[in-house]
Amino acid sequence: MRHTITILKWEMSKIINNWQKTLKVFLLPALLLLAAINVFPMLMNYLSTGSLQSRPVTVVDAPDSFVDYVDSNAKSSFYSFTWISEEEAEDLDETFAKEVTDKGGILVIFYATDKNTLVDFDSCVEKYYSRLANGESTRRLHMIAEIYHKGDYNSYLQAEQFNADLGEGYSSYLLEHLGQAYLDAGGGDRWDVDAFNPFSFVTDHRAVANLGAAGTIPSMMILLMYYCIYSLTAETLASQRQSGFLTKVYLSPISKKALLTGKALMVIFVGVISAVVTFFLLFISSWLNRSNSAYSLLPFGLFLTPSQLLAFFILLVVAAIMMAMLCFGITFMVRRMQDVIMNLQVPLVLLIFEFFGNMFRPSDALFAEYLIPVHNSIMAIRDIFKGTYSWWTILLVVFVNLVFAGELFIICLKSKDGMLHIAEEGGANDFGKSRK
């Protein structure tokens, strides 16, 4: 135990003393992925509009209330508005709508009718609320804002986003500013959420955010953690073995078990810390996602309950143990440094495929998937984010991973020369080259 702690302290001090490596292992991958996540909506915006600027919206015959609303709403800064008056609109030909939408823009047209006659939009709204307050019929009053888009999926998402950002809030704005008569008569929106209650604010966004995050965060976290564990294993085991330093340590009166455990603990500890740092960055990124673009991989309002966080943390630790033992096993089975690196990269490639697969996977995991080490952690974390997890599944995942990790640890312990710079089957410092 004492020797295990000595090895752990030594390995940790090497990480701390080498700030460049620490930066590389902890922050760089997380920051790069974070940047990629934030670039993704911009890229999609560019692909659909041909511009990296804010999304273009052309508004025809906008009522004064909508202009005031746009001026007072922070979310309007995500759009660049072109205002076309009723007079200007009369000069436009039939191809105008096509031109606007073909460029990826959104076209919004306002109009209101009273007994099938076009009337002023705001006056019509006032009349509507006044009649509601007096208990009169509003059947012949129509106030319509039509939103046009190109028709493809990307444009549809843009239009939906515009509606969510400004359309829904505008109806509440109309009630507050033009529906005074109705409000005075005791009317109001019975389903209105108390915006001053932080809890309702969080829960309002949580369902969408967590569901969105379930597609990206689980595989991303495991992918980044594997990258960290793989780099550390290559450094602490394969590289030290090749230089012979591991042999030097092994020649001291330390047991193989203590030496391996100390190194494994360092790799697992740093791997988990790196995952926690990554999650923290992703959490912050979600809450800073003010635009909450329809393409966002991390929607606004990501939030886990304490029990979800606990289950998530347990799964991270178990996945780290499993991945560390997988990397140790590979390093012990293969001798040449370049072979070790190549073999350690195979799971990395598989995890990248898994990342893209999960991003668009709508179905739940099959039971058999919970029996596949590492993959089962991704599936279980995904369940946590979707809110469909059960503690039995988590226990199963923990059990499966620990059994596999234990087996790999025993294989490493039984290896005759896995830690030495020389091999029993031959070769001094030449690692696998045939000996003459």
Partner 1 sequence: MISVNHVSKRYNKRDMVVNDVSFQVEKGTIFGLLGPNGAGKTTLMQMISTLLLPTSGIISICGLDTQASAQEIRKKIGFLTTEIKLDPLSTPNQLYSFFSELYDIPKEEIESRKQASFARFGITPFADKRIVELSTGMKQKISIVISLIHNPEVIIFDEPTNGLDILTSRQVMDYLLELRQKGCCVLLSTHIFSVAEQLCDEIAILVDGRIVDQGSASALTEKTGSKNFEEAFFKLYSEYHREG
Q: Which is nearer to partner 1, 123 or 255 (CB)?
A: 255
For the chain, helix, strand, coil in percent to 5 are 70, 5, 25
96 lines the binding site for partner 1 (CB under 8 A):
no
Binder among 1, 17, 90, 91 for partner 1 (CB under 8 A)? 17
Contact criterion met (CB below 8 Å) for 66 and 120: no
What is the nearest approach in angstroms of partner 1 to the Cβ of residue 355?
33
- Interface positions, 313-352, toward partner 1 (CB under 8 A): none
By CB under 8 A, what part of segment 291-310 binds partner 1?
Answer: none
Structure tokens at 95: 């191809």
Distance between CA atoms of 358 and 217, rounded to whole angstroms? 10
Residue numbers 161-190 binding partner 1 by CB under 8 A: none
Rounded CA-CA distance 55/66 in Å is: 18
Using the minimum distance from each CB to partner 1, give the nearer residue, 200 or 429.
429
The residues in 109-128 that bind partner 1, with binding defined as CB under 8 A, are none
Contact letters for partner 1, residues 243-282 (x by CB under 8 A): xxx-xxxxxxxxx---------------------------
What residue type is 139 in one-letter code?
R
The candidate with the shortest Cα–Cα distance to 402, out of 318, 328, 315, 313, is: 318
Contact flag: residue 427 with partner 1 (CB under 8 A) = yes
Cβ pair 228, 277 in contact under 8 A: no
> Does 22 participate in binding partner 1 (rule CB under 8 A)?
no
**CA gyration radius, the chain:** 30
Instruction: State which residue, 117 or 252, has the beta carbon closest to partner 1.
Output: 252
DSSP label at residue 166: I
1's tokens: 């135990």
Quick one: which segment of 285-293, 364-372, 390-398, 428-436 binds partner 1 (CB under 8 A)?
A: 428-436
Give the strand pairing for 141-148 and 117-119.
unpaired
Angle made by CA atoms 381, 384, 390, in degrees to the nearest 5: 105
Nearer to partner 1, 14 or 103 (CB): 14
What's the rounded Cα separation, in Å, for the pair 152 and 146?
17
CB of 418 to partner 1, least distance (A): 13
The DSSP code sequence of 377-405 is HHHHHHHHHHT---HHHHHHHHHHHHHHH
Terminal-residue alpha carbon distance, the chain:
42
Instruction: Decide if residue 14 touches partner 1 (CB under 8 A).
Output: yes
Q: With contacts defined by CB under 8 A, name the span among 120-128, 237-245, 362-370, 399-407 that binds partner 1.
A: 237-245
- Tell me how many residues contact partner 1 (CB under 8 A): 33
Should residue 433 be labelled a site residue for partner 1 when binding is judged by CB under 8 A? no
**Measured from the CB of residue 247, what is the shortest distance to partner 1 in angstroms?**
5
Judge whether 161 and 215 are in contact, CB under 8 Å: no
**Min CB(248)–partner 1 separation in Å:** 5
Site string for partner 1, 382-421 (x = CB under 8 A): ----------------------------------xx--xx
| CB contact set of 369 (below 8 Å; sequence gap of 6+) | 375, 376, 379
Say if residue 279 is exposed, middle or buried (CB neighbours under 10 Å; 0-12, 13-18, 19+): buried
Among positions 18, 82, 307, 338, the unique one binding partner 1 when judged by CB under 8 A: 18
User: Rule CB under 8 A: which residues touch partner 1?
Assistant: 3, 6, 10, 13-14, 17-18, 240, 243-245, 247-255, 416-417, 420-422, 424-429, 435-436
